[in-house]
Amino acid sequence: MGFYAALMDAIHAYTGLSSAAFFTILALSVMVYKTVCGMFVGPDEFNTPPTVNGVGVLPPSLTDPPPVSDPVQLGDVTEEELRAYNGSDPSKPLLMAIQGQIYDVSRSRMFYGPGGPYGIFAGREAARALALLSFDPRDLTADLEGLGASELEVLQDWEDKFVEKYAKVGQIVSKRNDQQSVADIGGGKAVEESEELEAKKEL
């Protein structure tokens, strides 16, 4: 009791407050401190992802982008076939062409994919549009007729960057070579059969 009485006297002497007022203020201070501390995250917890059912998760904006598969060589592709690689099908690579050369731009999907600033070029031959820095669908062609030296220089700069950054996976053709080859083989076989038939007639 002597210690308690001495403590109460010391509190009154140093603070000028009664013991009841002092402990009330002290309790309120502790509550405010805990409330404020709860609004912030400690340094060790700052880099720890939140958990759901014990499993750590990250917001979509912080997750790693989906892995980009290695470029697949397509060989000869028609312009119509190239349009299937415009990013609308996530399972297919993202391709675009410059002067007939097809490049895999899947690694820059944020720029050339759907909704990207250059998404209009995906799945298309974009030589004229790049030379003119145009987003007009009518300029999505390899036709460079009427372009000046400065515009052709711009196009060359684009092409140099693509050659350096992206893998070349094919080239645009007006007609697939394998179809032509089949036709040629078929025609050659027909000629051979005709020659054999003529030889039998002569015998």
Residue 22 pLDDT: 66
Residue 29 pLDDT: 77
Q: Which two tokens stand for residue 103?
A: 């490049």
**Token match 């070029």: residue?**
121
Closest CA relative to residue 155, chosen from 138, 142, 137: 142
Which stretches of the chain drop beneath a pLDDT of 50?
Answer: 41, 45-47, 52-53, 55-65, 179-194, 197, 201
Q: Which two tokens stand for residue 176?
A: 């697939």
The residues, any chain, with a CB within 8 Å of residue 52's CB and separated by 6 or more, are none
Range 75-175: architecture per CATH: Roll (3.10)
Q: Which long-range contacts (CB under 8 A, 24 or more apart) does 146-154 make?
A: 154/130
Handedness of CA 159, 139, 88, 109 (dihedral sign): positive
Amino acid identity at 69: S
Q: Domain spans of the chain?
A: 2-49, 75-175
The tens digit of pLDDT for each residue in 80-119 reads 999 999 999 999 999 999 999 999 999 999 999 999 999 9
What separation, in Å, do the N-terminal and C-terminal C-alpha atoms of the chain show?
A: 140
